Structure formats: structure tokens, C-alpha cells
């Protein structure tokens, strides 16, 4: 998931030519939404939102995603609602209904994919009063109803002849091989002092601890060090411990980190860091950390808030010891109302507890305490 951005048109994939509401090509009073390339009726504004579904190459190729998705479900919403209760209707694959707990009604439509590629989508404004909509796209598995992909964008504005919006649309993590989502620290983070005793790795899926301990994690640096791996009970985070600690030159600390395809998910699936490249690809990166002042709250023999089993966590407020592993527990960015921090993503995501259908979980359940999808 992510924010849509506007982009140049470039190559145009197949386009769905159909009226989203199946209510003919007219201005249906008082509001109508269309997905069509056909001219709209006289009296309707020609303003539209053009969407291009963008696939992250680290997850898969667009062709692979299209080959497994049989239909798209579009959910259109607005904080003020798009329809009122007396406009509820169901025609063909389209419904105007209350898809959440606020009083406004949303538009939900299912579009079958008949071409072996992801389509472009046009949403025409019709008689809508609002200048923009929130759009969520779910990808359903061929010959089934299981959600295997999703995309989300908020506040997309209607325009006349505007550039298309680039909406991130990707497989759900459970549908793909595991990959490294982030490391803490990562390149550019300020390192208290100039020595590093441990590093946390965040994965997209639960990992098999034995595979991580079997030599799949290696470090290259000017100092020879022994690597030990400790994995959280969830399998989503692992600490890589260095003995002796990696030492910088007083200004920076630079080292290479590689996690091979011998690292396995808890179901035995090998790690694949580049889903768009044929075969399984390792995670390989060079991490460069600027050295800062030494920690202001060093550990003592009697007390250490950074102590985590037999090692210390980085002296950072965004890291804490969880399940014996140094785990991200806060975002480095501030979240707006209606969003919550997903520490493992280090990003703000929609709060699934809100009365917003766009925030609903595509898979799993909403955690009533955190507002995150389990």
C-alpha cells in the first residue's frame, strides 16, 4: 500500500471499457461514477481520474501479478460519503451500499480481467460534488474470491486531461516469498558512538530461525567478526550480533550485509529479495552509518533499559526489546488522524478501527488495540 503519485503516460496497458455502475452513460442524479472511455452524456463534467496500477519489482513483475489475478474490486469512498441511503442499489457487478460504519454509502464494483495484463482504469466524475475520492483496489485470485493483492490511494482528485495517477498495487506478503523489509540501523542512520554490536533485520514474513543460524547471514567489514542470529518468536525480526563489535574509523562505519537464499520462511520458502528477477535472489547491501556522540545513557551493571537477553539494543527511542529481540516499536514519522504507526514498516497506515471502508483489512483481522491488521 502507499500514496498514489502522478506520472507520465508512457506505455499504456489494456484498458477496461465498461461503465462501472451499469446505469447507462448518463448523469444519474444526483451522483454517478463511471469507469469508461466512452464520451459522457451532455451536462456531465468530463473530469476524471486515470489510474495506472504500479507493481513493486522487489515483489513481483506486473505480468506475474496479472496472471494470477482474475478480477479487481474497486471501492470508492470519501470522508463525507459518496451516496445517501436512499441511493442504495445493486446492478450487475456494482453496488452502492454502506461498506463501513459511517452513514455515507460507498461504490463497490468488480471488474473481470480478460487480458493477461493489468488494465488502466478511468473513473469519471459524473455528477459527484466532491473534487476527489479515496480508491482501494483488491485483486482476487483467478476462479476464486481470495484477495491476493491490493492497492490504496487517498484524495485522488478529478481533472480534465490530467496525468494518470500511479497507484501501488502488489501481492500481499503472504502470497510471496519472504524478503528483507528493512534493517535497523540502515544506511544514513546516526550511530551513537562508532561501534555496532548488533543489527536488527525486519522480514516481510515469519522466518525459520534454524535457517538463519545456518550461515545464511554474513557480514563483510574491515574487522573480522563472528555472527550470531537471534530470532523473535513471531519470526518477523532477527538480531544479528557481532563479536567483537564492528568498529568505524571515527567518522563512519561501513560494512556489507548479505542474507542468502538459504534463509527460509517458516513454511520452507526461500528468501527472494527481487521478485521480478528470475530465480531466488539474496539480500545484499552496503550499510554506511555516520558516527555520532557516544550514548548519553550508557548501560551499567545494575540497570540497562537497552538490555535484551545477552545483548544490548541500539540506544534509540524507536527500538525496544520484544521477545528477546531488538524490535522497531515506533515510527520515525508523525501519523495523521485516522492513521496508526506500523513499526515494522516504519510507516503510517490506515487505522482499521475507523469507520472507513478503505481502512478495512484485505486479509486477517483488525487488532482492536493497535488498529493494525493482524
pLDDT at 70: 94
- Tell me the average pLDDT of the chain: 82
The pLDDT of residue 336 is 80
Main-chain dihedrals φ then ψ at residue 358, nearest 5 degrees: -65, -25
Residues 107/88, Cβ–Cβ less than 8 Å: no
Higher pLDDT, 356 or 25: 356
Cell matching residue 150: 491490493
343 — pLDDT class (breaks 50, 70, 90): confident
Name the residue among 139, 138, 141, 135 with its Cα closest to residue 166. Answer: 135
* Arithmetic mean of pLDDT, 261-275: 97
Q: Name the pLDDT band for 20 (thresholds 50, 70, 90).
A: very low
Residue with cell 478501527: 353
List pLDDT tens digits, range 322-336. 888 999 988 877 888
Which pTM was predicted? 0.81
Cell numbers that stand for 117 in this block:
495484463
User: Whole-angstrom Cα distance, residue 241 to residue 277?
Assistant: 30
Sign, Cα dihedral of 170, 171, 177, 179? positive
Phi and psi torsions of 64, nearest 5°: -65, -40
Please give the average per-residue pLDDT across 196-201, as a whole number.
Answer: 94
327: buried, middle or exposed (CB in 10 Å: 19+, 13-18, 0-12)?
Answer: buried
- The residues near 2 (Cβ < 8 Å, ≥ 6 apart) are 152, 153, 168
Q: Rounded distance, CA 79 to CA 63, Å?
A: 34
Q: For 93, phi and psi rounded to 5 degrees?
A: -95, 15
Please report which helix (H) or strand (E) contains residue 233, including its range: none
Q: Is 87 helix (H, G, I), strand (E, B) or coil?
A: helix
Task: State pLDDT tens for residues 115-142.
Answer: 888 988 888 877 677 788 889 999 999 9
State the DSSP string of 237-253: EEEEEEEEEEE--SSEE
pLDDT at 14 over 70: no
Question: Does residue 203 have a pLDDT over 90?
Answer: yes
Per DSSP bridges, beta strands 283-292 and 191-192 are parallel
Amino acid at each position: 500500500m502507499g500514496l498514489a503519485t502522478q506520472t507520465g503516460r508512457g506505455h499504456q496497458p489494456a484498458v477496461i471499457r465498461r461503465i462501472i455502475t451499469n446505469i447507462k452513460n448518463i448523469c444519474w442524479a444526483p451522483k454517478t461514477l463511471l469507469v469508461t472511455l466512452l464520451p459522457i452524456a451532455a451536462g456531465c463534467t468530463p473530469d476524471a481520474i486515470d489510474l495506472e496500477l504500479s507493481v513493486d519489482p522487489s515483489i513481483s513483475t506486473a505480468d506475474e501479478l496479472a496472471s494470477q489475478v482474475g478480477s479487481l474490486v474497486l471501492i470508492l469512498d470519501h470522508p463525507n460519503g459518496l451516496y445517501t441511503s436512499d441511493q442504495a442499489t445493486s446492478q450487475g457487478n456494482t453496488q452502492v451500499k454502506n461498506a463501513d460504519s459511517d452513514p455515507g454509502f460507498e461504490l463497490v464494483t468488480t471488474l473481470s480481467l480478460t487480458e493477461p495484463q493489468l488494465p488502466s482504469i478511468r473513473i469519471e466524475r459524473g455528477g459527484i460534488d466532491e473534487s476527489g475520492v479515496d480508491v482501494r483496489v483488491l485483486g482476487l485470485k483467478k476462479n476464486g474470491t481470495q484477495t491476493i493483492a491490493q492497492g490504496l490511494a487517498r484524495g485522488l482528485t478529478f481533472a480534465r486531461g490530467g496525468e494518470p495517477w500511479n497507484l501501488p498495487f502488489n501481492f500481499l506478503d503472504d502470497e510471496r516469498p519472504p524478503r528483507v523489509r528493512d534493517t535497523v540501523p540502515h544506511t544514513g542512520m546516526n550511530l551513537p558512538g562508532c561501534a555496532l554490536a548488533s543489527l536488527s533485520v525486519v522480514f516481510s514474513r515469519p522466518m525459520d530461525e534454524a535457517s538463519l543460524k545456518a550461515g545464511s547471514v554474513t557480514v563483510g567489514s574491515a574487522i573480522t567478526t563472528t555472527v550470531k542470529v537471534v530470532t523473535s518468536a513471531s519470526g518477523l525480526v532477527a538480531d544479528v550480533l557481532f563479536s567483537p563489535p564492528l568498529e568505524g574509523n571515527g567518522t563512519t562505519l561501513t560494512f556489507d550485509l548479505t542474507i542468502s537464499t538459504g534463509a527460509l520462511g517458516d513454511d520452507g520458502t526461500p528468501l527472494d529479495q527481487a521478485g521480478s528477477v528470475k530465480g531466488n535472489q539474496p539480500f545484499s547491501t552496503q550499510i554506511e552509518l555516520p558516527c555520532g556522540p557516544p550514548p548519553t545513557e550508557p548501560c551499567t551493571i545494575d540497570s540497562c533499559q537497552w538490555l535484551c537477553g545477552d545483548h544490548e539494543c541500539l540506544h534509540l527511542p524507536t527500538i525496544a526489546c520484544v521477545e528477546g529481540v531488538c524490535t522497531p516499536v515506533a515510527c520515525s514519522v508523525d501519523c495523521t488522524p485516522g492513521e496508526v504507526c506500523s513499526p515494522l514498516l516504519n510507516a503510517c497506515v490506515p487505522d482499521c478501527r475507523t469507520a472507513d471502508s478503505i481502512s478495512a483489512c484485505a486479509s486477517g483481522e483488525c487488532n482492536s488495540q493497535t488498529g493494525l491488521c493482524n
